[in-house]
Structure 1
């Protein structure tokens, strides 16, 4: 009889129902945990100290304390939970179920709290602000990571080289440098990357997507960092300066490249001919001389070029655009290099001189052509008759003899000539009369 009078909960092996304070019977939902028991930014139950865990449990690890044991186990992994509701939420990781979707962009999430944080992207709400610099953040965890910048806290260090980081994921990304692991690969070309963000940036090469636009001129960029660098052009901001000559630059990489002028460092060398260069891009352009690759072609005439800059200058021939003008005589030019050479007509400057005879020239190409008179070099040869020439222009004129081409015509009488010099001589007939 005494056993019959015992509390039914004492005789039952079932977990007793939660009290009304712990369960909303109208919504059948688990109420939010208190701030001390739940990390709303990570959506994880924080680990309890070792003293709160029952080390004797062999099947289900039980957490002792106010919330009771973890009796609800996941069949897919070794995690366990205090309530069936938390287990169901966890199982969405395995099933892929994302019941909460954004009405702005359609992005779906497993947790309602994650959806709420996501919606701050659309609303612009950043409720967590730094009391040091005023920077605002969508999530509290982002604020905590940011605050480490001010205090200098870098709790995550690499056991290979000792490099320290403020974030654990930054350490993981760094460790891939040592392991060589590149888990993110492009399904278009197979290029592999250590970080998913780098893969996304790369994929914009294939899609042509440029989501970051300049509000000053409308220029679009694939990366936000490229937009920021571009905006310095409008602001005139050049935060990186050379300690040798004081030259200032918008990009740190441009400063490093510039400093090689002073140091003479040319770390990039051609494995074909040994030529060395200060810039990797210059080496790539040079290597196309050996491969014959000309990836940039004109859609007007089909002419191909090694460099895109050369193509851009060439296209101005078709458009007639000459953006560079001489402040002395008003003459206009397709490129800045041509303007600089022209200015020497006014200044009389001849910076290039021959070491053999002392003759001076305004253009480097003229000096090179002249030097062939001393060396006897004739690198240009005709594939029709084998005749060789010291200048490419002379070869072109010669080839007109074989083709019969006369590209230079008189606008007065229509007579045509194979050489421009012959046309000029002819035109004197009209001007003299």
Structure 2
């Protein structure tokens, strides 16, 4: 910028400079202004810089006595009129005008206006996706430093905002403000559809989606959509396998804090939801609802494709994927895909070797709770699942369901390669490995790989020497059931079940 004296005014640039322009007001001195009085440039001057940051920018162009004093008459070279007209007085120290106009800090993408260029800089990250603030603990990145500070309290456990009414503490001030509305009872935001009132406008926006059916948060992995961002974030953990909520008593981890809260009731011995028909108690109310349908035989969820009915909507969703062959939950280790996220969680234990379910009788551990329950019946001899056609009983419901297909002759799972059909989906998957050559079950002792897990279990006994099948007549043990059956024929007894 050039001064009236012909000198160039140099200003040091600051961050955000140039985003906003500040217009300085024009003020001429009065006719009777004394020498050395206040003045300003004739034309309005644009001064780039931070608007509204409280800093005063000054630039001294030179001492007045070097230029003949402040009351020197301007000549043509200085922009004057050959001495004609009133004399003009210039203070050689440029100061911001005391009457600035509103700063022009407007986003070029969406037109939103800001009072300071620093706010505009932060806002522009919404459009650019820039996240310059990274958490050193977990690597999560944020667009704003305030969000990083709030996030870091998750790791530190710090909750600096306490409620003056009840003492409950929060990580973020916004959470405290939201909580305090529960004490005041003030709910100024009313739903025009149902009349329900809310303490926050954001809560009203979320509520109205229950009327409109809007689900703006869509999962990029499986396409499932959600009305609320919190539900969307929790759902994504099904795909990533993240379980950030760990039990302090046993270490078991959960993807959702609500599931951890329910799990903690197991340690406390609390089963607050009792069945009025049989008295059986449950940790979760959902478990009670599902159980009560066993008394009423109610199955309110029918399949639109085949008419099969289910007690739970989750069972229906799982079943419907057998028609579409949809398997949205894929293992990152071996690529095997599953119908349900819980199946993927259980499958991952094949790779990790985790067996969290141990038998209290013999100490044998299992990766899945259902396998433990089935195993425990080998100690008790219980076979509670009986076939209505032939009376044969089974330790597990899955064994009964598979057996009943022998009566109906149904083979609903067909191979796309050769057309061969199977009674169960697991049998089809095992068969498909013959086409693909996949052998996902690897022996830890010799690295030999197998198509079926049962083959791996049987093979391991060649290393461990385990012989779990003993003859009831002479006590001779065998490593395989088939060997025991052959041996028992010599005694003339029945083969092992």
| TM-score where L is the length of structure 1 | 0.53
With 98-107 and 246-255 compared, the bigger mean Cα shift is at: 98-107
Q: How does 1:258-273 map to 2 (within 5 A)?
A: 258-273=291-306
Q: Give the whole-Å Cα distance in 1 for the aligned partners of 2:356 and 2:170.
A: 47
TM-superposed CA distance for 1:8, in Å, is: 4.2
TM-superposed CA distance for 1:278, in Å, is: 1.6
Tell me which residue corresponds to 2:261: 228
Tell me which residue corresponds to 2:455: none
Q: How does 1:132-143 map to 2 (within 5 A)?
A: 132-143=165-176
SS of the residue aligned with 2:231? helix
2:488 pairs, out of 409, 420, 424, with 424
Does 2:119 match 1:90? yes
Tell me which residue corresponds to 1:402: none
TM-superposed CA distance for 1:159, in Å, is: 1.9
TM-superposed CA distance for 1:425, in Å, is: 4.3
Q: 1:287 to 1:102 in 2, by over 3 A?
A: closer
Does 2:223 match 1:159? no
Q: 1:296 to 1:210 in 2, by over 3 A?
A: closer
Q: How does 1:172-211 map to 2 (within 5 A)?
A: 172-211=205-244
Tell me which residue corresponds to 1:58: none
Q: Give the whole-Å Cα distance in 1 for the aligned partners of 2:153 and 2:235.
A: 27
Q: 1:264 to 1:419 in 2, by over 3 A?
A: same
Q: 1:147 to 1:256 in 2, by over 3 A?
A: farther
Tell me which residue corresponds to 1:73: 104
What are the Cα deviations for residues 256-287 of structure 1, in whole angstroms up to 9, with x where unaligned? 22333455432112335534322234445666
TM-superposed CA distance for 1:172, in Å, is: 1.8
Q: Is the 8 A contact 2:125 2:131 kept in 1?
A: no
TM-superposed CA distance for 1:245, in Å, is: 4.6
Q: 1:128 to 1:166 in 2, by over 3 A?
A: same
Q: 1:257 to 1:334 in 2, by over 3 A?
A: closer
How many residues align? The count is: 333
TM-superposed CA distance for 1:136, in Å, is: 0.4
Q: 1:363 to 1:4 in 2, by over 3 A?
A: same
Q: Is the 8 A contact 2:134 2:148 kept in 1?
A: yes
SS of the residue aligned with 1:72? coil
Q: Is the 8 A contact 1:350 1:361 kept in 2?
A: no
Q: Give the whole-Å Cα distance in 2 for the aligned partners of 1:286 and 1:272.
A: 10
Tell me which residue corresponds to 1:31: none
Q: Give the whole-Å Cα distance in 2 for the aligned partners of 1:308 and 1:103.
A: 32
SS of the residue aligned with 2:116? helix
Q: Give the whole-Å Cα distance in 2 for the aligned partners of 1:149 and 1:191.
A: 33
Q: 1:216 to 1:363 in 2, by over 3 A?
A: closer
Q: Give the whole-Å Cα distance in 1 for the aligned partners of 2:265 and 2:116.
A: 51
Q: 1:308 to 1:70 in 2, by over 3 A?
A: same
Does 2:239 match 1:219? no
Q: 1:128 to 1:261 in 2, by over 3 A?
A: same
Does 2:181 match 1:148? yes
Q: Is the 8 A contact 1:269 1:276 kept in 2?
A: yes
Q: 1:343 to 1:177 in 2, by over 3 A?
A: same
What are the Cα deviations for residues 128-151 of structure 1, in whole angstroms up to 9, with x where unaligned? 212333210233332121122234
Q: 1:99 to 1:284 in 2, by over 3 A?
A: closer
Q: How does 1:310-325 map to 2 (within 5 A)?
A: none
Q: 1:175 to 1:285 in 2, by over 3 A?
A: closer
Q: Give the whole-Å Cα distance in 2 for the aligned partners of 1:305 and 1:10.
A: 76
1:253 pairs, out of 267, 271, 286, with 286
What are the Cα deviations for residues 222-269 of structure 1, in whole angstroms up to 9, with x where unaligned? 222222222322232334344555433222222222333455432112
Q: Give the whole-Å Cα distance in 2 for the aligned partners of 1:13 and 1:202.
A: 61
Q: Is the 8 A contact 1:70 1:80 kept in 2?
A: no
Q: Give the whole-Å Cα distance in 2 for the aligned partners of 1:99 and 1:200.
A: 19
Q: How does 1:293-308 map to 2 (within 5 A)?
A: none
What are the Cα deviations for residues 82-133 of structure 1, in whole angstroms up to 9, with x where unaligned? xxxx4202311453297984674574555x6666555544544323212333
Q: Give the whole-Å Cα distance in 1 for the aligned partners of 2:373 and 2:148.
A: 54
Q: Is the 8 A contact 2:209 2:215 kept in 1?
A: yes
With 91-100 and 175-184 compared, the bigger mean Cα shift is at: 91-100
Bigger relative contact order, structure 1 or 2 (CA pairs below 8 A, ≥6 apart): 2
TM-superposed CA distance for 1:71, in Å, is: 0.9
Q: Is the 8 A contact 1:360 1:367 kept in 2?
A: no
Q: Is the 8 A contact 1:185 1:199 kept in 2?
A: yes
